Structure 1
Amino acid sequence: MSLNRVLLAISALWLAISSAGVGAGSLAEDKQALLDFLAAAPHGRGLNWSRATAVCRLWTGITCSADGSRVVAVRLPGIGFSGPIPPNTLSRLSALRILSLRANILSGPFPADFANLTALTGLHLQLNRFSGPLPSDFSRWKNLTVLDLSFNDFNGSIPASISNLTHLTALNLSNNSFSGQIPDLDLPNLLFLNLSGNHLNGTIPKSIQGFPNSSFSGNDLSPVYPLTPASLPAQTPLLVPSPSPVSSSITMRKLSESAILGIIVGGCALLFVMLALFLYLCCSRGKEENFVSGKASKGDLSPEKSVSRNQGMNNRLVFFEGCTFDFDLEDLLRASAEVLGKGTFGTAYKAVLEDATTVVVKRLKEAGVGKKEFEQQMEVVGRIKHENVAELRAYYYSKDEKLMVYDYYTQGNVSSLLHVYLT
């Protein structure tokens, strides 16, 4: 009996060691897959990927899981990758949730081995040179929330299986060469849709008729007219006393000779005054007031536009470990924004990006801190994990602009909740 116990203990120990080896090997396998991709894919810009460095904390564009056991996000926009995606490289990242290779020069067909990436929630391949038809079966990517394949040369029909992606919130297939009819995309969570700039024909399915016309422009689609009850007779105007023919002719004569000229002159004068007032306000007001009035125009998240382009080349958004967002400073600056509130340290905005991602951006007031001190403070804030505290997801630092990015919660603000409970 004691021998059996010894053998059982040895077996349990062996299984534990094997499991630990598998867990440790998973990250090692992810690292090797990334190195194989980098070695096989031509690229214009260098990356700091090295076998000797830690993939989770030091590699550009790589995010790991909270426990550091797997690679969960690869964000490599604008690196200059060209040619087809090397097979059996990125497809080995079986825990990958976010893949962004946008704004490169990648070509060839949609990678067939991406079928292995079943954990994907966001796939961003826009602004490349991919071609050919899409896979017929999208149900293997059932967790997708964002799919952006715009500005490529994909062709063929839009797969009807996309309608199986019930978690999808943003679908962008614009500016490709898709043809045929639009399938019935009955996606209950879809917030953003863009199918413009293709060769689609037929009618717009009823399930997506609620999206704006710009979502379908540049195709050969039949217009959708609002339905009117055919049984209802034409409405007749209410009866009013009709003026006599004499008074009508006098009124028309007076209107044509005197009133029309006065209306034209007055209208021109009013238009001139309004235009002058508008130019005066634009020159005198700071751009900060654009947000105070309500919803900002697209692309005005940061009031100092001079900061965005030049400094964006040398400064970038810093994402914290475990963050699944996939956007950069340019995306943030193009977002539609509205003021949520003002506080001692700055103003908070609700920002809605082009792919329907919604975040809260806190624009800090002028603070005389250096970059190193600011980054240290952000690291401290980023380590705060509590169920009642919104986690800091990313931050941005430049000499004239300091931003903090949080999740957006739809349940309202704390002040409103407190007042409800107090009353």
Structure 2
Amino acid sequence: MAGALPSNFRFSPSHVIILIWLVVAAPCSNADQFDIDCLQSIKRSFQDPLDSLSSWNFSNTTEGYICKFNGVECWNDGENRIINIKLSDMGLRGEFPQGISNCHSMTGLDLSRNNITGTIPNDISKLVHFLTLLDLSGNQLTGEIPSNIANISFLNVLHLDDNQLTGRIPPEIGLLPRITTFTVTRNRLTGPVPHFVNPNATIPASSYSDNAGLCGPPLPPCRGKKARMSTIVGAAVGGFVVAALAIVIGLYYYSRKVYRKKKEEDPLGNKWATSIKDAKRIKLSMFENSISKMSLSDLMKATDDFSNVNIIGSGRTGTMYRAILGDGTSLMVKRLKDTKHSEQEFVSEMAILGNIKHRNLVPLLGFCVAKKERLLVYKYIPNGTLYEKLHVIDDDAKTMAWPLRLKVAIMAAKGFAWLHHSCNPRILHRNISSSCILLDDDYEPRISDFGLARLMNPIDTHLSTFVNGEFGDLGYVAPEYSRTLVATPKGDVYSFGVVLLELVTGEKPTFVSKALEGFKGNLAEWISKLSSDGKLNDAIDESLAGKGFDGEVYQFLKIACRCVLSAPKERPSMFEVYQLLRAVGQRYDFSTEDDLLVLPEDGGNADRVVELIVARDG
């Protein structure tokens, strides 16, 4: 599933200790003082001819006072813990501030379009280790890009455009596991560009423009003559180089031999499954009588011992496998990860989730506890995720027609509204994305992963948003979450609004292919900009235009825009979203009867809400 950590990424013990410290210890007064020291150091480091930092008055001792400083954003307005520093276009002069290392909980740094000189510090990862965004574009930085920048392992976005950087781009940058955006336009860089291992990284040729010496995909290939000259020069350094190469080659083949031996012992890398083989007799607790006699042994056989070839999705909550029973029945089995609940607590939670039934939810059929492993058994949903259908890789694949997109939106909204307003207990999904909406045989949406947020380690759930660069996907996270760290129904509405934007624009949540060069925001931010410029129509997927649906498409887009408003109070409830979408699709024969949706107490005003909003928005 989208937003998952790469399989080759692992936390080191030191990372875990530091991250837990960020959550638990950072609110104390010492942490506050570190952040204050950080800002004081920044102010001392820069000349400020435009008085852009005049609001940085440190004589105030009120808790949270630095959160009112120009360009400073805090995790919570009531405490001095910085999450973002945005000092773009403020006329600041000086070198990169070393004291910024005291901002221990900062995840975003934007110093673009100033007059910062000197070089990028060689130890930059020690100064800003937990950044997900770093923007140093539009300055006067010189020298080479330090390879140490690749040790900022949580980076999602890195902008170094419009400087005077020279030398080669460190190939290590391509190994950043979370990187999705990288730009170095208008510098003096040379040599091959990095190869990015993250499949979600979309780095076009325009990201390297105006660097005459760069080469390699997606740019023109590097010239062979230079490569041969490099080989000749390298060979001339002496026989000791040959000896060193022989040692390296020997070590390489030895490591490959060890690797192959390990693969023979564990060919699929699923040692966790091997560890529970002696528990095969454990019975599954099933909610469906028709398959009540299943055991763990049946699941092991149906998944080929949870072979990696049977993985059909992986996300924050765990890995999903396809299981095929002896009679040909297909199921989905999710192996939960990082659950920190006792077996008794887990079983109690399963008893609740197993009784939650709705036609637009993926049915939970049963569960199994085997040693430390927690396995959930679901009905198999054959047509994959909405994300896969919207963002197809194959150019020859058919795009989703408008009536189908509208059907998916209405029925998914119905499922989320039921979780929010009618389910007992009420459930916040907290991880809504187009990857958690599956499509059945009739392309009717089925919501997955509902209720699982409560089973995850709270610390991991917290950190996944702003350190790992993942809460489903950063493009879906409501902006207020960075301040409050509290999940709310309106946060779910925001996330679903991004899904609606995907449906109507065809764009991905974190990368907008149609945006003008230089745009650095996500899909919701792009929509907001177009709306303020009076160009909202430009956002609509070209494949939908002129097909007889223009009025419906525009009304749909307006509803999506309301869902992603920055102020939570201005967003509709999930039930109102469902009612609004249903009004747009009233001429279609969709199955939208409310047989399973009990109206909330304020449901009597829903039709009036629809009338007012539709009338106002034309």
TM-score normalised to structure 2 length:
0.34
Indicate the structure whose relative CO is greater, using CA pairs within 8 Å and at least 6 residues apart: 2
Q: Quick check: which has more Rg, 1 or 2?
A: 1
